[in-house]
Structure 1
């Protein structure tokens, strides 16, 4: 299959044209209309160097809020009130920590300066949201993503202390469930998210869910 080169329009090729690894297109930019069109169609950006790459893998790693798993150890964390939780209180700090926090097996970050600024603009326009974990009024963990219709598209998370990203994620999922969110897109597999109940579904099933919930 061909690898599509994007131009100044906000068009994307059909997701069924993705390569085996999920790569669909290259190039373009991170203007808000392009990003929103991407998410609506199940596509997300990921950078390699200075070039945006656009992905729609098959299968897709997702979480249904009803399937959230909370371990005994995390239930203990909640009972002890170790951390405080908030939404949208520190978006710019959350994305900055996601950008700079070192991760096992990764030499750098895919969150470029241009991506950071694009998602801050998405936040200011009401599309992107952050969830924060605090201890003694200090930000110690969190995550951010994009919400459209009844779907939340998770982007990245960070922890400065043990269990803080899990705490923020669990708290957010519980809040999103109350708001009527039916699907959380985790994009690609991680053991961390699998332990919280995320699983694979086919790309076709994922796209069908988007079509009925956005």
Structure 2
């Protein structure tokens, strides 16, 4: 197990254990977070834990051009039920992502320290949010870290059916137009797979970062 110090450095990602845990400790400074994402590493821990840094193998990613849109979702998009904004209420998206209950999860990994850290990244133009509105009500959204060629998705929320899916589809469409390589989805879920995400090896993922 690698214990981080004040030095701004991470061990090679291939030193992660079988579960993908690479290192513990350190801090959540904007500089360390940015280095982590650029290296294929992300923080994931809860209020009762020290900071844990992960680089899983395999890695769940989406090629923006491979987004799958079901017939029912195409109908939702055409209905103009939702509208999309970007970076208009980053803190609200963070709060909802941390507080909306999720099936199979008890509590949240988006601690107050994590929120503060990502707000600082947002203030530097690195962390970004996509917001979904139904009328004047915020009903869904997502946030992540934008590396300029890869978007590292962090979390999504929905207060009404299809809202976060709408945000994810719009994100993929925009990033395809901007010729981004991939969207990093970190870990496999059936929901992400249904939207076209797939697993690649950590080695392949690091090549995208380089």
Write out aligned runs for 1:60-209 (5 A): 60-209=59-208
Structure 2 segments unaligned to the other structure (5+ residues): none
Q: Distance in 2 between matches of 1:199 and 1:38?
A: 22
Partner of 1:27: 25
Aligned equivalents of 1:51, 1:76: Cα separation in 2: 45
Q: Gaps (5+ residues) in structure 1?
A: none
Q: When the two structures are superposed, what TM-score results if normalisation uses the length of structure 1?
A: 0.96
**CA displacement 1:162-185 (0-9 Å, x = unmatched):** 000000110111112222211100
Listed one character per residue, the Cα deviations across residues 142-191 of structure 1 (whole Å, up to 9, x for unaligned) are: 00000112000000000000000000110111112222211100000111
Aligned to 1:36: 34
- Which whole-Å CA distance do the structure 2 matches of 1:74 and 1:82 have between them? 11
- Structural RMSD (CA): 0.8
Following TM superposition, the consecutive aligned residue runs of length 4 or more in structure 1 with deviations greater than 6 angstroms are none
Question: What is the rounded CA distance, in whole Å, between the counterparts of 1:109 and 1:161 in structure 2?
Answer: 20
Instruction: Give the secondary structure class of the aligned counterpart of 2:152.
Output: strand
Distance 2:140 2:191 in 1: 14
**TM-score, normalization by structure 2:** 0.98
Q: How far apart are residue 200 of structure 1 and its match?
A: 0.3
Q: Secondary structure at the match of 1:20?
A: coil
